[in-house]
Chains A and B, each alone.
Chain A
Amino acid sequence: MSVLKVNICGVEFKNPVITASGTFGYGLEYARFIDISKLGGISVKGISYNEVKGNPMPRIMETTSGMLNAIGLQNVGVHKFLKEKLPLLRKYDTRVIVNFWGKTIEEYVQVAEVLDNADVDMLEMNISCPNVKEGGIAFGSDPSMTAKVVSECRKAISNKPLLVKLSPNVTDIKPFAKACEDSGADGISAINTLLGMAVNIHTRKPYISNVTGGLSGPAIKPVAVRMVHEVSKVVKIPIIGMGGIIRWEDAAEFFLVGASAVQVGTANFVDPELTLKIVDGLEKYAESQGLSNISELTGKVDLSK
Protein backbone atom coordinates (compact mmCIF):
# COMPACT_ATOMS: atom_id res chain seq x y z
CA MET A 1 0.00 0.00 0.00
CA SER A 2 3.06 2.27 -0.11
CA VAL A 3 1.75 3.76 -3.35
CA LEU A 4 -0.94 5.42 -1.27
CA LYS A 5 1.27 6.62 1.58
CA VAL A 6 1.21 10.42 1.78
CA ASN A 7 2.80 13.04 3.93
CA ILE A 8 0.58 15.99 4.75
CA CYS A 9 2.14 18.84 6.70
CA GLY A 10 4.76 16.49 8.13
CA VAL A 11 2.29 13.79 9.18
CA GLU A 12 2.48 10.46 7.41
CA PHE A 13 -0.83 8.86 6.42
CA LYS A 14 -0.97 5.21 5.34
CA ASN A 15 -3.38 6.30 2.63
CA PRO A 16 -4.92 9.64 1.62
CA VAL A 17 -8.53 8.78 2.47
CA ILE A 18 -9.83 10.56 5.57
CA THR A 19 -13.38 10.61 6.87
CA ALA A 20 -14.78 14.13 6.96
CA SER A 21 -15.79 15.89 10.13
CA GLY A 22 -19.46 15.62 11.01
CA THR A 23 -20.00 12.46 9.02
CA PHE A 24 -18.10 9.96 11.12
CA GLY A 25 -18.95 10.94 14.68
CA TYR A 26 -15.95 10.38 16.94
CA GLY A 27 -14.94 7.40 14.79
CA LEU A 28 -16.11 4.93 17.38
CA GLU A 29 -19.66 4.87 16.01
CA TYR A 30 -18.37 3.13 12.90
CA ALA A 31 -15.83 0.83 14.54
CA ARG A 32 -18.29 -2.03 14.83
CA PHE A 33 -19.20 -1.80 11.16
CA ILE A 34 -15.83 -1.36 9.42
CA ASP A 35 -12.15 -1.72 10.28
CA ILE A 36 -11.37 1.95 10.87
CA SER A 37 -7.66 1.14 11.09
CA LYS A 38 -7.72 0.82 7.31
CA LEU A 39 -8.54 4.50 6.96
CA GLY A 40 -5.82 7.03 6.35
CA GLY A 41 -7.34 9.24 9.00
CA ILE A 42 -10.46 10.40 10.77
CA SER A 43 -11.46 14.02 11.15
CA VAL A 44 -13.68 13.95 14.20
CA LYS A 45 -16.88 15.89 14.75
CA GLY A 46 -16.26 19.61 15.27
CA ILE A 47 -15.20 20.18 18.86
CA SER A 48 -15.87 23.34 20.84
CA TYR A 49 -14.66 24.27 24.29
CA ASN A 50 -18.03 23.63 25.94
CA GLU A 51 -20.63 21.01 25.09
CA VAL A 52 -23.12 22.07 22.39
CA LYS A 53 -26.57 20.53 21.99
CA GLY A 54 -27.12 21.55 18.38
CA ASN A 55 -30.16 22.77 16.50
CA PRO A 56 -33.80 21.72 16.95
CA MET A 57 -35.18 18.90 14.82
CA PRO A 58 -35.71 18.28 11.96
CA ARG A 59 -32.06 18.61 11.07
CA ILE A 60 -31.61 16.63 7.89
CA MET A 61 -33.33 16.26 4.55
CA GLU A 62 -32.36 14.32 1.48
CA THR A 63 -32.22 16.27 -1.76
CA THR A 64 -31.42 15.22 -5.31
CA SER A 65 -28.10 13.35 -5.11
CA GLY A 66 -27.32 15.04 -1.83
CA MET A 67 -28.51 15.99 1.60
CA LEU A 68 -29.10 19.10 3.64
CA ASN A 69 -28.10 19.18 7.27
CA ALA A 70 -28.33 21.69 10.06
CA ILE A 71 -27.06 19.66 13.00
CA GLY A 72 -25.61 22.78 14.57
CA LEU A 73 -22.15 21.49 15.50
CA GLN A 74 -23.47 19.34 18.34
CA ASN A 75 -20.56 17.93 20.30
CA VAL A 76 -19.54 16.84 23.79
CA GLY A 77 -17.00 19.62 24.37
CA VAL A 78 -13.22 19.33 24.28
CA HIS A 79 -12.64 18.00 27.79
CA LYS A 80 -15.19 15.22 27.53
CA PHE A 81 -13.85 14.42 24.07
CA LEU A 82 -10.31 14.05 25.38
CA LYS A 83 -11.40 12.01 28.37
CA GLU A 84 -14.08 9.74 26.93
CA LYS A 85 -13.66 9.53 23.17
CA LEU A 86 -10.04 10.09 22.20
CA PRO A 87 -8.44 7.28 24.28
CA LEU A 88 -10.77 4.77 22.62
CA LEU A 89 -10.15 6.20 19.17
CA ARG A 90 -6.37 6.10 19.65
CA LYS A 91 -6.51 2.32 19.94
CA TYR A 92 -6.99 2.21 16.19
CA ASP A 93 -4.13 2.54 13.75
CA THR A 94 -5.28 5.66 11.95
CA ARG A 95 -4.45 9.35 12.06
CA VAL A 96 -6.71 11.53 14.16
CA ILE A 97 -7.50 15.04 12.99
CA VAL A 98 -9.55 17.13 15.37
CA ASN A 99 -11.90 19.60 13.75
CA PHE A 100 -12.53 22.50 16.14
CA TRP A 101 -14.48 25.74 16.27
CA GLY A 102 -15.59 28.59 18.48
CA LYS A 103 -18.18 31.34 18.56
CA THR A 104 -15.50 33.98 19.12
CA ILE A 105 -11.80 34.23 18.42
CA GLU A 106 -11.20 33.73 22.14
CA GLU A 107 -13.15 30.49 22.04
CA TYR A 108 -11.20 29.28 19.01
CA VAL A 109 -7.97 29.98 20.86
CA GLN A 110 -9.26 28.39 24.06
CA VAL A 111 -10.05 25.06 22.41
CA ALA A 112 -6.93 25.20 20.23
CA GLU A 113 -4.71 25.55 23.30
CA VAL A 114 -6.21 22.44 24.85
CA LEU A 115 -5.94 20.40 21.66
CA ASP A 116 -2.36 21.52 21.01
CA ASN A 117 -1.28 19.40 23.97
CA ALA A 118 -3.56 16.45 23.24
CA ASP A 119 -2.66 13.11 21.71
CA VAL A 120 -3.92 13.97 18.23
CA ASP A 121 -2.11 14.19 14.91
CA MET A 122 -3.47 17.33 13.36
CA LEU A 123 -5.95 20.15 13.96
CA GLU A 124 -8.53 21.41 11.51
CA MET A 125 -10.09 24.82 12.12
CA ASN A 126 -13.68 25.01 11.03
CA ILE A 127 -14.39 28.56 9.92
CA SER A 128 -17.07 27.49 7.53
CA CYS A 129 -20.06 25.85 9.19
CA PRO A 130 -23.20 27.43 7.78
CA ASN A 131 -25.42 26.18 10.58
CA VAL A 132 -24.52 28.22 13.64
CA LYS A 133 -25.53 31.82 14.14
CA GLU A 134 -22.30 32.99 15.68
CA GLY A 135 -18.75 32.24 14.68
CA GLY A 136 -18.26 29.55 12.06
CA ILE A 137 -19.20 31.06 8.77
CA ALA A 138 -18.68 34.63 9.99
CA PHE A 139 -14.95 33.95 10.13
CA GLY A 140 -15.01 32.15 6.81
CA SER A 141 -16.81 34.79 4.78
CA ASP A 142 -14.55 37.80 5.37
CA PRO A 143 -10.86 37.43 4.44
CA SER A 144 -9.70 39.85 7.13
CA MET A 145 -11.62 37.90 9.78
CA THR A 146 -10.18 34.69 8.39
CA ALA A 147 -6.67 36.11 8.70
CA LYS A 148 -7.35 37.27 12.24
CA VAL A 149 -8.76 34.01 13.61
CA VAL A 150 -6.13 31.88 11.85
CA SER A 151 -3.22 34.00 13.08
CA GLU A 152 -4.55 34.03 16.65
CA CYS A 153 -4.94 30.24 16.63
CA ARG A 154 -1.53 29.86 15.01
CA LYS A 155 -0.01 31.60 18.03
CA ALA A 156 -1.80 29.16 20.31
CA ILE A 157 -0.79 26.05 18.36
CA SER A 158 2.85 25.06 18.38
CA ASN A 159 2.79 21.28 18.48
CA LYS A 160 0.38 20.32 15.71
CA PRO A 161 -0.05 21.05 12.03
CA LEU A 162 -2.97 23.39 11.46
CA LEU A 163 -5.47 22.92 8.65
CA VAL A 164 -8.17 25.48 7.91
CA LYS A 165 -11.44 24.27 6.42
CA LEU A 166 -12.84 26.76 3.94
CA SER A 167 -16.39 27.69 3.09
CA PRO A 168 -17.65 27.50 -0.49
CA ASN A 169 -20.27 30.13 0.33
CA VAL A 170 -18.18 33.03 -0.95
CA THR A 171 -17.89 34.72 -4.32
CA ASP A 172 -14.20 33.99 -4.64
CA ILE A 173 -12.48 31.39 -2.48
CA LYS A 174 -8.93 32.37 -3.46
CA PRO A 175 -8.45 35.34 -1.09
CA PHE A 176 -9.55 33.14 1.80
CA ALA A 177 -7.07 30.42 0.95
CA LYS A 178 -4.31 33.00 0.59
CA ALA A 179 -5.27 34.62 3.90
CA CYS A 180 -4.95 31.22 5.60
CA GLU A 181 -1.53 30.56 4.12
CA ASP A 182 -0.29 34.04 4.97
CA SER A 183 -1.60 33.73 8.52
CA GLY A 184 0.27 30.53 9.28
CA ALA A 185 -2.00 27.68 8.22
CA ASP A 186 -0.11 24.52 7.31
CA GLY A 187 -2.80 23.24 5.00
CA ILE A 188 -6.26 23.86 3.57
CA SER A 189 -9.35 21.67 3.72
CA ALA A 190 -11.82 22.49 0.98
CA ILE A 191 -14.74 22.57 0.84
CA ASN A 192 -17.37 22.61 3.57
CA THR A 193 -21.07 22.34 2.68
CA LEU A 194 -22.92 24.71 0.38
CA LEU A 195 -25.72 26.71 1.91
CA GLY A 196 -29.06 25.31 0.71
CA MET A 197 -32.75 25.12 1.42
CA ALA A 198 -35.66 22.78 0.69
CA VAL A 199 -39.37 23.47 1.14
CA ASN A 200 -42.30 21.10 1.57
CA ILE A 201 -44.82 22.30 -1.03
CA HIS A 202 -47.75 20.77 0.87
CA THR A 203 -47.09 22.42 4.24
CA ARG A 204 -45.22 25.36 2.62
CA LYS A 205 -42.64 25.07 5.38
CA PRO A 206 -38.90 24.45 5.10
CA TYR A 207 -37.99 20.82 5.77
CA ILE A 208 -35.25 21.85 8.20
CA SER A 209 -36.05 23.73 11.39
CA ASN A 210 -33.06 26.00 10.84
CA VAL A 211 -34.67 26.94 7.47
CA THR A 212 -31.35 26.59 5.64
CA GLY A 213 -28.77 23.85 5.88
CA GLY A 214 -25.48 22.66 4.48
CA LEU A 215 -25.74 20.79 1.19
CA SER A 216 -23.40 17.83 0.74
CA GLY A 217 -23.13 14.70 -1.35
CA PRO A 218 -22.51 14.06 -5.06
CA ALA A 219 -24.63 17.09 -5.97
CA ILE A 220 -21.82 19.45 -4.86
CA LYS A 221 -18.82 17.65 -6.33
CA PRO A 222 -18.33 19.80 -9.45
CA VAL A 223 -18.38 22.93 -7.27
CA ALA A 224 -15.86 21.37 -4.90
CA VAL A 225 -13.53 20.24 -7.70
CA ARG A 226 -13.60 23.74 -9.18
CA MET A 227 -12.85 25.36 -5.84
CA VAL A 228 -9.96 23.02 -4.99
CA HIS A 229 -8.56 23.80 -8.43
CA GLU A 230 -8.84 27.54 -7.70
CA VAL A 231 -7.26 27.20 -4.26
CA SER A 232 -4.38 25.20 -5.70
CA LYS A 233 -3.53 28.13 -7.96
CA VAL A 234 -2.91 30.53 -5.10
CA VAL A 235 -1.35 28.52 -2.25
CA LYS A 236 1.70 26.32 -1.87
CA ILE A 237 0.50 24.54 1.28
CA PRO A 238 -1.18 21.12 0.90
CA ILE A 239 -4.89 20.91 0.17
CA ILE A 240 -7.19 18.21 1.43
CA GLY A 241 -10.02 18.08 -1.08
CA MET A 242 -13.59 17.11 -0.32
CA GLY A 243 -17.14 17.55 -1.45
CA GLY A 244 -19.31 14.79 -2.87
CA ILE A 245 -16.69 12.06 -3.06
CA ILE A 246 -18.46 8.73 -3.21
CA ARG A 247 -16.30 6.62 -5.56
CA TRP A 248 -12.55 6.34 -6.05
CA GLU A 249 -12.94 8.09 -9.40
CA ASP A 250 -14.22 11.16 -7.54
CA ALA A 251 -11.20 11.11 -5.27
CA ALA A 252 -8.86 10.87 -8.26
CA GLU A 253 -10.42 14.03 -9.71
CA PHE A 254 -9.57 15.94 -6.55
CA PHE A 255 -5.94 14.84 -6.77
CA LEU A 256 -5.75 15.99 -10.37
CA VAL A 257 -6.92 19.49 -9.48
CA GLY A 258 -4.46 19.86 -6.64
CA ALA A 259 -5.44 17.83 -3.59
CA SER A 260 -2.80 15.92 -1.64
CA ALA A 261 -5.41 13.89 0.24
CA VAL A 262 -9.18 13.68 0.33
CA GLN A 263 -11.92 13.61 2.89
CA VAL A 264 -15.06 11.57 2.39
CA GLY A 265 -18.24 12.76 4.07
CA THR A 266 -21.81 11.99 3.10
CA ALA A 267 -20.69 8.70 1.52
CA ASN A 268 -20.21 7.39 5.06
CA PHE A 269 -23.96 7.68 5.54
CA VAL A 270 -24.70 5.98 2.23
CA ASP A 271 -22.51 3.01 3.05
CA PRO A 272 -19.80 2.94 5.74
CA GLU A 273 -17.67 0.66 3.56
CA LEU A 274 -17.37 3.15 0.72
CA THR A 275 -14.24 4.76 2.19
CA LEU A 276 -12.45 1.42 2.15
CA LYS A 277 -13.61 0.81 -1.42
CA ILE A 278 -12.18 4.22 -2.34
CA VAL A 279 -8.83 3.23 -0.80
CA ASP A 280 -8.78 0.01 -2.84
CA GLY A 281 -9.87 1.78 -6.02
CA LEU A 282 -7.25 4.51 -5.67
CA GLU A 283 -4.52 1.96 -5.14
CA LYS A 284 -5.43 0.04 -8.28
CA TYR A 285 -5.75 3.28 -10.24
CA ALA A 286 -2.36 4.55 -9.09
CA GLU A 287 -0.74 1.28 -10.08
CA SER A 288 -2.51 1.20 -13.43
CA GLN A 289 -1.24 4.72 -14.09
CA GLY A 290 2.30 3.62 -13.33
CA LEU A 291 2.63 5.95 -10.36
CA SER A 292 5.14 5.18 -7.65
CA ASN A 293 3.04 7.29 -5.30
CA ILE A 294 -0.44 8.80 -5.49
CA SER A 295 1.03 12.23 -4.77
CA GLU A 296 2.43 12.24 -8.31
CA LEU A 297 -1.15 12.84 -9.39
CA THR A 298 -1.55 16.04 -7.41
CA GLY A 299 -2.22 19.02 -9.66
CA LYS A 300 -1.69 17.07 -12.86
CA VAL A 301 -4.92 18.13 -14.53
CA ASP A 302 -4.29 18.75 -18.24
CA LEU A 303 -5.72 22.13 -19.14
CA SER A 304 -4.18 22.29 -22.59
CA LYS A 305 -6.57 23.04 -25.44
Chain B
Amino acid sequence: MKGIILKNERLNDKYRLMEIESPEFVQTAKPGQFVMVKTGLQDYLADPLLRRPFGLVDVRGNTFRLLYMLVGKGTRLMTESPAGSVIEFSSSLGNGFKSVKNQKVALVAGGVGIAPLLWIAKLLKDDGCSVTLYFGGRNQEDIILADEFRPHIDKLVITTDDGSVGDKALVTVPFGQDVKGFDRVYACGPKRMLEAVSGICVKGGVPVDVSLDERMACGMGACLGCIIYVREGEETVQKRCCVEGPVFDGSKVVWESVCR
Protein backbone atom coordinates (compact mmCIF):
# COMPACT_ATOMS: atom_id res chain seq x y z
CA MET B 1 0.00 0.00 0.00
CA LYS B 2 0.98 3.61 -0.42
CA GLY B 3 0.03 6.73 1.47
CA ILE B 4 0.82 10.41 1.63
CA ILE B 5 2.73 11.69 4.64
CA LEU B 6 0.74 14.57 6.07
CA LYS B 7 2.99 15.22 9.06
CA ASN B 8 6.36 13.95 10.19
CA GLU B 9 6.61 15.73 13.48
CA ARG B 10 9.70 15.84 15.66
CA LEU B 11 8.64 15.29 19.28
CA ASN B 12 12.20 15.48 20.62
CA ASP B 13 15.65 14.15 19.72
CA LYS B 14 14.47 10.57 20.19
CA TYR B 15 10.92 10.34 18.87
CA ARG B 16 8.89 11.33 15.82
CA LEU B 17 5.20 11.08 15.04
CA MET B 18 4.17 10.43 11.45
CA GLU B 19 0.66 10.93 10.12
CA ILE B 20 -0.15 9.15 6.87
CA GLU B 21 -3.21 9.52 4.69
CA SER B 22 -4.49 6.24 3.28
CA PRO B 23 -8.27 5.73 2.95
CA GLU B 24 -7.65 2.11 1.94
CA PHE B 25 -5.54 1.27 4.97
CA VAL B 26 -7.78 2.77 7.63
CA GLN B 27 -10.77 0.66 6.60
CA THR B 28 -9.33 -2.50 8.10
CA ALA B 29 -6.97 -1.30 10.85
CA LYS B 30 -7.65 -2.24 14.47
CA PRO B 31 -6.11 -1.13 17.77
CA GLY B 32 -2.97 -3.02 18.68
CA GLN B 33 -2.18 -4.02 15.10
CA PHE B 34 1.03 -3.05 13.37
CA VAL B 35 2.26 -2.12 9.95
CA MET B 36 5.48 -2.92 8.08
CA VAL B 37 6.96 0.26 6.65
CA LYS B 38 9.41 0.25 3.75
CA THR B 39 12.08 2.49 5.12
CA GLY B 40 14.24 2.51 2.01
CA LEU B 41 11.26 4.30 0.49
CA GLN B 42 12.19 4.62 -3.16
CA ASP B 43 14.91 2.18 -4.07
CA TYR B 44 14.61 -1.52 -3.30
CA LEU B 45 18.35 -1.86 -3.50
CA ALA B 46 18.81 0.81 -0.88
CA ASP B 47 20.11 -0.15 2.48
CA PRO B 48 18.31 -0.95 4.76
CA LEU B 49 16.60 -3.71 2.88
CA LEU B 50 13.73 -4.94 5.01
CA ARG B 51 10.57 -3.25 6.15
CA ARG B 52 10.21 -2.28 9.78
CA PRO B 53 7.24 -3.03 12.06
CA PHE B 54 5.52 -0.14 13.85
CA GLY B 55 2.49 -0.28 16.12
CA LEU B 56 -0.46 1.85 15.10
CA VAL B 57 -1.04 4.86 17.35
CA ASP B 58 -4.53 5.50 16.02
CA VAL B 59 -6.72 6.10 13.01
CA ARG B 60 -8.40 9.45 12.45
CA GLY B 61 -10.60 9.84 9.38
CA ASN B 62 -8.52 8.79 6.41
CA THR B 63 -5.25 8.97 8.28
CA PHE B 64 -3.27 6.82 10.66
CA ARG B 65 -0.35 7.66 12.88
CA LEU B 66 2.93 5.94 13.70
CA LEU B 67 5.23 6.79 16.57
CA TYR B 68 8.83 5.94 15.93
CA MET B 69 12.02 6.05 17.91
CA LEU B 70 15.27 6.85 16.16
CA VAL B 71 17.32 3.70 16.54
CA GLY B 72 19.05 2.97 13.25
CA LYS B 73 19.35 3.64 9.55
CA GLY B 74 15.73 2.79 8.78
CA THR B 75 14.21 5.20 11.23
CA ARG B 76 16.77 7.88 10.30
CA LEU B 77 15.56 7.58 6.73
CA MET B 78 11.99 8.01 7.89
CA THR B 79 12.91 11.38 9.38
CA GLU B 80 13.93 12.48 5.90
CA SER B 81 10.44 11.96 4.47
CA PRO B 82 8.76 15.34 4.28
CA ALA B 83 5.05 16.08 4.36
CA GLY B 84 3.59 15.46 0.94
CA SER B 85 5.88 12.56 0.10
CA VAL B 86 4.73 9.01 -0.59
CA ILE B 87 5.46 6.15 1.79
CA GLU B 88 5.00 2.40 1.26
CA PHE B 89 3.69 0.03 3.88
CA SER B 90 1.83 -3.24 4.36
CA SER B 91 -1.82 -3.64 5.21
CA SER B 92 -2.62 -3.74 8.93
CA LEU B 93 -1.08 -6.88 10.41
CA GLY B 94 -1.49 -9.10 13.45
CA ASN B 95 -4.12 -9.43 16.11
CA GLY B 96 -4.72 -6.38 18.24
CA PHE B 97 -6.19 -5.59 21.64
CA LYS B 98 -9.75 -6.60 22.39
CA SER B 99 -11.76 -3.91 24.15
CA VAL B 100 -13.88 -4.59 27.24
CA LYS B 101 -16.89 -2.75 28.65
CA ASN B 102 -17.51 -1.13 32.03
CA GLN B 103 -14.35 -2.40 33.71
CA LYS B 104 -11.50 -0.89 35.69
CA VAL B 105 -8.56 -1.02 33.32
CA ALA B 106 -4.87 -0.23 33.72
CA LEU B 107 -2.62 0.58 30.79
CA VAL B 108 1.09 0.15 31.47
CA ALA B 109 3.56 1.65 29.01
CA GLY B 110 7.31 1.92 28.81
CA GLY B 111 8.82 4.51 26.44
CA VAL B 112 7.87 3.94 22.80
CA GLY B 113 5.53 1.20 24.06
CA ILE B 114 3.01 3.97 24.59
CA ALA B 115 2.25 3.87 20.83
CA PRO B 116 -0.42 1.15 20.61
CA LEU B 117 -2.18 2.11 23.84
CA LEU B 118 -3.77 5.42 22.79
CA TRP B 119 -6.33 3.88 20.46
CA ILE B 120 -7.39 1.19 22.91
CA ALA B 121 -7.62 3.85 25.66
CA LYS B 122 -10.14 5.75 23.53
CA LEU B 123 -12.21 2.62 22.90
CA LEU B 124 -12.15 1.57 26.54
CA LYS B 125 -13.28 4.99 27.68
CA ASP B 126 -16.06 5.01 25.08
CA ASP B 127 -17.12 1.59 26.37
CA GLY B 128 -17.61 2.80 29.92
CA CYS B 129 -14.32 1.72 31.43
CA SER B 130 -12.33 3.68 33.97
CA VAL B 131 -8.79 3.87 32.64
CA THR B 132 -5.53 4.51 34.48
CA LEU B 133 -2.31 4.94 32.53
CA TYR B 134 1.01 4.03 34.15
CA PHE B 135 3.73 5.47 31.96
CA GLY B 136 7.43 4.99 32.62
CA GLY B 137 10.61 6.06 30.87
CA ARG B 138 14.27 6.71 31.43
CA ASN B 139 13.76 10.45 31.54
CA GLN B 140 11.46 13.24 30.45
CA GLU B 141 12.31 12.62 26.79
CA ASP B 142 10.53 9.24 26.95
CA ILE B 143 7.28 10.67 28.27
CA ILE B 144 5.56 11.43 25.01
CA LEU B 145 1.92 11.72 23.91
CA ALA B 146 0.82 11.89 27.57
CA ASP B 147 -1.30 14.95 26.88
CA GLU B 148 -3.14 13.13 24.11
CA PHE B 149 -4.20 10.49 26.60
CA ARG B 150 -5.70 12.90 29.12
CA PRO B 151 -9.22 13.10 27.57
CA HIS B 152 -9.39 9.29 27.45
CA ILE B 153 -8.12 8.32 30.89
CA ASP B 154 -9.17 8.92 34.46
CA LYS B 155 -5.73 8.93 36.01
CA LEU B 156 -2.14 9.28 34.82
CA VAL B 157 0.84 7.99 36.79
CA ILE B 158 4.26 8.90 35.41
CA THR B 159 7.60 7.53 36.53
CA THR B 160 11.13 8.08 35.25
CA ASP B 161 14.42 6.47 36.11
CA ASP B 162 16.01 9.85 36.84
CA GLY B 163 12.97 11.53 38.37
CA SER B 164 13.00 14.29 35.73
CA VAL B 165 9.24 13.93 35.47
CA GLY B 166 6.85 12.03 37.76
CA ASP B 167 8.12 9.76 40.50
CA LYS B 168 11.68 8.49 40.41
CA ALA B 169 10.86 4.79 40.13
CA LEU B 170 10.21 1.96 37.73
CA VAL B 171 6.66 2.07 36.41
CA THR B 172 6.05 -1.35 37.90
CA VAL B 173 6.35 0.06 41.43
CA PRO B 174 3.17 2.23 41.54
CA PHE B 175 1.39 -0.22 39.26
CA GLY B 176 2.26 -3.10 41.55
CA GLN B 177 0.82 -1.23 44.51
CA ASP B 178 -2.48 -0.65 42.71
CA VAL B 179 -2.88 -3.84 40.70
CA LYS B 180 -5.65 -5.40 42.77
CA GLY B 181 -7.93 -2.49 41.96
CA PHE B 182 -8.12 -3.43 38.28
CA ASP B 183 -10.19 -5.90 36.29
CA ARG B 184 -7.82 -6.02 33.30
CA VAL B 185 -4.41 -4.76 32.21
CA TYR B 186 -2.96 -3.89 28.79
CA ALA B 187 0.79 -3.34 28.53
CA CYS B 188 3.43 -2.48 25.97
CA GLY B 189 7.08 -1.63 26.46
CA PRO B 190 10.46 -3.26 27.09
CA LYS B 191 10.32 -7.03 27.53
CA ARG B 192 11.67 -6.93 31.09
CA MET B 193 8.94 -4.48 31.99
CA LEU B 194 6.30 -6.68 30.38
CA GLU B 195 7.64 -9.70 32.23
CA ALA B 196 7.42 -7.79 35.52
CA VAL B 197 3.93 -6.46 34.76
CA SER B 198 2.75 -9.95 33.85
CA GLY B 199 4.21 -11.36 37.06
CA ILE B 200 2.45 -8.69 39.10
CA CYS B 201 -0.83 -9.40 37.32
CA VAL B 202 -0.57 -13.16 37.79
CA LYS B 203 0.13 -12.65 41.47
CA GLY B 204 -2.77 -10.20 41.73
CA GLY B 205 -5.13 -12.43 39.77
CA VAL B 206 -5.70 -9.83 37.05
CA PRO B 207 -5.81 -10.74 33.32
CA VAL B 208 -3.06 -9.06 31.31
CA ASP B 209 -2.56 -8.58 27.59
CA VAL B 210 0.93 -7.64 26.46
CA SER B 211 2.00 -6.36 23.07
CA LEU B 212 5.34 -7.89 22.10
CA ASP B 213 7.91 -6.59 19.70
CA GLU B 214 10.19 -9.10 17.97
CA ARG B 215 12.61 -8.66 15.11
CA MET B 216 10.80 -9.85 11.97
CA ALA B 217 11.60 -9.97 8.28
CA CYS B 218 8.19 -10.39 6.64
CA GLY B 219 5.48 -9.59 9.22
CA MET B 220 3.26 -12.10 7.45
CA GLY B 221 4.05 -15.40 9.09
CA ALA B 222 6.44 -16.78 6.51
CA CYS B 223 9.96 -16.07 7.71
CA LEU B 224 9.57 -17.59 11.21
CA GLY B 225 12.02 -15.03 12.53
CA CYS B 226 9.71 -13.76 15.29
CA ILE B 227 8.84 -16.95 17.15
CA ILE B 228 7.86 -16.65 20.81
CA TYR B 229 6.91 -19.39 23.24
CA VAL B 230 3.65 -19.56 25.18
CA ARG B 231 2.13 -22.13 27.48
CA GLU B 232 -1.01 -23.93 26.34
CA GLY B 233 -2.10 -26.23 29.15
CA GLU B 234 0.83 -28.49 29.92
CA GLU B 235 2.55 -27.75 26.63
CA THR B 236 4.90 -24.99 25.52
CA VAL B 237 4.10 -24.02 21.96
CA GLN B 238 5.60 -21.72 19.35
CA LYS B 239 3.70 -18.68 18.12
CA ARG B 240 4.58 -16.21 15.42
CA CYS B 241 4.63 -12.76 16.99
CA CYS B 242 3.48 -11.24 13.68
CA VAL B 243 0.46 -13.44 13.00
CA GLU B 244 -0.72 -14.95 16.29
CA GLY B 245 0.41 -11.75 18.09
CA PRO B 246 1.67 -9.17 18.68
CA VAL B 247 -0.80 -9.17 21.59
CA PHE B 248 -0.54 -12.20 23.88
CA ASP B 249 -1.88 -13.23 27.27
CA GLY B 250 1.01 -12.13 29.49
CA SER B 251 0.34 -14.94 31.96
CA LYS B 252 1.00 -17.53 29.24
CA VAL B 253 4.20 -16.11 27.74
CA VAL B 254 7.36 -18.07 28.52
CA TRP B 255 9.34 -14.99 29.51
CA GLU B 256 12.73 -16.65 29.77
CA SER B 257 12.50 -17.41 26.06
CA VAL B 258 11.44 -13.87 25.18
CA CYS B 259 13.82 -11.89 27.46
CA ARG B 260 17.07 -13.10 26.06
Contact = CB atoms under 8 A, between A and B. Distances in A.
A120 to B, nearest CB: 19
Q: For chain B, what secondary structure do more than half of its interface residues adopt (helix, strand, loop), or is it mixed?
A: loop
B193 to A, nearest CB: 19
Interface in A263-281: 266-272, 274
B44 A247 contact: yes
Contact of B49 (A23, A25, A53, A66): A66
B224 A272 contact: no
B222 A268 contact: yes
Contact of A60 (B47, B88, B223, B257): B223
A58 B220 CA distance: 17
Interface residues of A, number: 35
22 contacts: A23-B218, A23-B223, A24-B222, A25-B221, A29-B220, A30-B222, A33-B91, A54-B238, A56-B257, A57-B214, A57-B260, A58-B215, A65-B49, A67-B50, A69-B223, A74-B224, A218-B45, A247-B44, A266-B217, A268-B222, A271-B88, A274-B44
B227 A57 contact: yes
Given A53-B238, A57-B260, A62 B222 contact: no
A217 interface: yes
A67 B257 contact: no
Interface residues of B, number: 28
A64 B222 contact: no
In the complex, which of the residues B45, B50, B217, B243 has the most CB atoms of chain A within 10 Å of its own CB atom? B217
B216 interface: yes
Contact of B48 (A30, A53, A62, A272): A62
B125 interface: no
A71 interface: yes
Given A25-B221, A247-B44, A269-B217, 14 more contacts: A29-B221, A60-B216, A60-B225, A62-B217, A64-B47, A67-B217, A71-B224, A218-B45, A266-B49, A270-B49, A270-B51, A271-B51, A272-B218, A274-B44
B74 to A, nearest CB: 9
A25 B260 contact: no
B50 A58 contact: no
A271 B44 contact: yes
Interface in B42-90: 44-45, 47-51, 88, 90
B38 interface: yes
A58 to B, nearest CB: 6
Interface string B22-52: 0000000000000000100000110111110
Nearest to A33: B220
A96 B59 CA distance: 39
Interface in A237-279: 246-247, 266-272, 274
B220 A272 contact: yes
Contacts of B50: 62, 67, 269-270
Q: For chain A, what secondary structure do more than half of its interface residues adopt (helix, strand, loop), or is it mixed?
A: loop
Interface string B237-260: 010000100000000000001001
Contacts of B91: 33
Contacts of A62: 48-50, 217
B76 to A, nearest CB: 14
B223 to A, nearest CB: 6
Contacts of B260: 57-58, 209
A59 interface: yes
A61 interface: yes
B88 A59 contact: no
Contacts of B49: 62, 65-67, 217-218, 266, 270
B217 A60 contact: yes
A268 to B, nearest CB: 7
A30 B222 CA distance: 8
A54 B51 CA distance: 23
Contacts of A246: 44-45
Interface string A25-60: 100011001000000000000000000011011111
Nearest to A69: B225
Contacts of A24: 222
Contacts of A218: 45, 49
A69 B51 contact: no
Contacts of B215: 58, 60-61
